[in-house]
Amino acid sequence: MLSLLIWIPILTAILVCLCPPQHVAGPRNLSLVAIGLTFGITMLLVFQFDPISILPQFAESHAWIDRLGLTYRLSLDGLSLPLVALNALLTWVAVYCTRLDVPRPRLYFCLLLIINAGVTGAFLAHNLLLFFIFYEVELIPLYLLIAIWGGSRRGYAATKFLIYTAISGILILGAFLALAWLTGVSSFNYDLLQHQHLPLTQQALIMGALLVGFGIKIPLVPFHTWLPDAHVEASTPISVLLAGVLLKLGTYGLLRFGLGLLPDAWALFAPWLATWAVISVIYGSCTAIAQKDMKKMVAYSSIGHMGFILLACAANTPLSLLGAVFQMVSHGLISGLLFVLVGVVYSKTGSRDLEVLRGLLNPERGLPLIGTLMIWGVMASAGMPGMIGFISEFIVFRGSFPIFPTQTLLCMVGTGLTSVYFLLLVNKVFFGRLQVPIPAQMPSSLFVLPTVEWRDRAPALLLAILIVVFGLQPHWVLRWSESSTTALISSPALVAEVDKPTAPILPRVPAI
């Protein structure tokens, strides 16, 4: 069952490549159907999933290369389930909002499908090496998607992305190898490694590599500079995928492998991680305020909002981890929405410049519905109650506060700053009299933007509705993850450690 999620997109990718070139719409439609199918299967899995169980479900295991300890081992738990669903949803959105006249459609959709397969595979893999392979599989297509279909500085941005992520990959691989080597286990299977226990120093070393490796992907300050460039140069669908799903690989990896396999080192690093989260949040938010490019602003806001997840992971309480997973979903939907909207603005006006665009809410000549949805999106991002961003952040903060009160409060400043920069964006770009870049010597009242079609609005509407639905009914997302995240804390290694009186593992509740 789980293999279908990976192999349907890959087989479709091959099909897409075989599509006759005169079939212009073929690749797109094929992709839509394939991703729709995987989304349907995911939903089927969701309803068969047992939310109470903490064991990996729907497991599949096939020997692959025993000598390497590589096993084709997939399974689903509460940590990966929401992310797999998010991936299918956002890939579908990305395919849908791709321009109809995208050049080289066969290659384009083939790459998108491979990314989808790679990311799903990474979320499902229960073998470290298999995770790494999928993690790398997603890298090259994304590089190509930026390098071929990107903006004017695409070469630079794509290379930067490639180098950063390649380093990230090497570090992660190194960490995995070291883990297996040091524990002396000949397999990379997750459940096997989970029961191993390493001395603290060794854990710390591996942890360091993982932190930088996944920190690049999340991204955490100061390893983040590839992200704004990649976003600015990438086309809209790629940005949606990048912000919505790919960044989550970083936090997912940290949770799964950092926290899950190296609990002692995690406990040791936790206060530093929380402080790191604060720095990321404040730094990302402050930098976002100064941005003039809408896409860059949303990109920096991602850096800020991904910092919340790190805070929650560092706090490591049942509630905060649940919040972390929820925040991943929440950020995926919200940043997806924002990038879709920025994309529409860019495709209609030819600009994303906050100093140029004005008054796009204009009902006749502007993009009123897009503007309305943008207000919707930024409010969700700024943590407006009733939307998913609020409850996910609240759970993160509420879960983290008992452990790291100061850091939590400082992170909350980040939500305040979010409203500052996003309000600037809405006020500048959408309020006021309509103003768009126009050809020289043309009277501004005669320049007319292209019509916004319903197909431009549909993906944004879908995401906006989900944001409110899950904001009002967070339980629909949370219930799948609760057991798994709770189990993550009491992972076997940790339980073993509790018996030893010396180890400072259990979170200390400060006296307030």
Pair 328, 481: CB distance under 8 Å: no
Stretch that binds other proteins, among 35-43, 202-210, 238-246, 417-425 (CB under 8 A): 417-425
d(CA 464, CA 305): 18
Among candidate residues 226, 227, 375, 394, the one with its CA nearest the CA of residue 308: 394
Name residues contacting other proteins, limited to 274-313 (CB under 8 A).
283, 286-291
Q: Does residue 139 belong to the site contacting other proteins (CB under 8 A)?
A: yes
Give the range of 22-30, 135-143, 234-242, 462-470 binding other proteins by CB under 8 A. Answer: 135-143
Beta pairing partners, 63: 71
Residues whose CB is less than 8 angstroms from the CB of residue 465 and which lie 6 or more positions away in sequence, other chains included: none
For other proteins, which residue of 322, 460, 463, 493 counts as binding (CB under 8 A)? 322
Interaction residues for other proteins, span 86-115 (CB under 8 A): none
Show Cβ contacts of residue 200 under 8 Å, excluding neighbours closer than 6 positions. 264, 265, 268
- Integer CA distances (angstroms), 401 to 314, 425, 474, 502, in order: 11, 30, 20, 25
369 or 458, CB closer to other proteins?
369
Who contacts 288 (Cβ-Cβ below 8 Å, separation ≥6)?
296, 297, 300, 301, 303, 304, 417, 418, 421
Of 74, 158, 311, 494, the one binding other proteins (CB under 8 A) is 158
Contacts of 216 (CB under 8 A, 6+ apart): 164, 165, 167, 168, 171, 223, 226, 250
According to CB under 8 A, which residues from 24 to 53 bind other proteins? none
Instruction: Out of 16, 80, 115, 136, point to the residue binding other proteins (CB under 8 A).
Output: 136
Q: Which of 412, 429, 466, 494 binds other proteins (CB under 8 A)?
A: 412
**Binder among 51, 151, 208, 402 for other proteins (CB under 8 A):** 402
Total H helices, total E strands in the chain: 22, 2
Does residue 59 belong to the site contacting other proteins (CB under 8 A)?
no
How many Å apart are CA 45 and CA 447, to the nearest integer?
51
Stretch that binds other proteins, among 56-64, 97-105, 139-147, 498-506 (CB under 8 A): 139-147
Q: Judged by CB under 8 A, which of 37, 41, 140, 468 binds other proteins? A: 140
Which one among 85, 95, 130, 162 touches other proteins, defined by CB under 8 A?
Answer: 162
Residue with tokens 């309509």: 434
Q: How far is the CB of 32 from other proteins (least distance, A)?
A: 26
Cα(473)–Cα(176) distance, integer angstroms:
38
Nearer to other proteins, 34 or 487 (CB): 487
- Of 92 and 134, CB closest to other proteins: 134
Q: Is the peptide bond before 219 cis (omega within 30 degrees of 0)?
A: yes
Q: Using CA atoms, how far apart are residues 76 and 123, in angstroms rounded to an integer? A: 8
CA separation for the pair 355, 424 (Å, rounded): 11
Closest CA to 97 of 300, 297, 245, 241: 241
Query: Is residue 221 within the footprint of other proteins (CB under 8 A)?
Result: yes
* Between 36 and 169, CB nearer to other proteins: 169
According to the binding rule CB under 8 A, does residue 368 interact with other proteins? yes
What are residue 60's DSSP bridge partners? Answer: 74
Among 115, 144, 247, 487, binds other proteins (CB under 8 A): 144
Residue 67 in the binding site for other proteins (CB under 8 A) = yes
Amino acid found at 414: G
317 forms part of the interface with other proteins (CB under 8 A): yes
CB of 206 to other proteins, least distance (A): 14
If the CB atoms of residues 101 and 364 are measured against other proteins, the closer one turns out to be 364
Q: How far is the CB of 4 from other proteins (least distance, A)?
A: 27
Judged by beta carbon, residue 273 or residue 395, the one nearer other proteins is 395
Beta-carbon count within 10 A of 407 CB: 23
Q: Which of residues 234-273 bind other proteins (CB under 8 A)?
A: none
Shortest Å distance, C-beta 57 to other proteins: 20
Decide whether 54 or 420 has the Cβ nearer to other proteins. 420
Sign of CA dihedral 308, 313, 316, 322: positive
Q: Which residues contact 252 (CB under 8 A, 6 or more apart)?
A: 79, 80, 83, 122, 123, 328
Question: What is the closest distance, in whole angstroms, from the C-beta atom of residue 498 to other proteins in the complex?
Answer: 19
Restricting to residues 433-462, name those near other proteins by CB under 8 A.
433-434, 442-446, 448-451
Candidate list 423, 458, 469, 496; residue touching other proteins; CB under 8 A: 423
Footprint on residues 472-491 left by other proteins (CB under 8 A): 474-475, 478, 482, 486
Interacting span for other proteins (CB under 8 A) from 222-230, 269-277, 307-315, 334-342 = 222-230
Closest CB to other proteins among 44 and 225? 225
* Residue 239 near residue 201 (C-beta atoms within 8 A): no
Q: Which is nearer to other proteins, 33 or 413 (CB)?
A: 413
Residue (116 or 484) nearer to other proteins, CB: 484
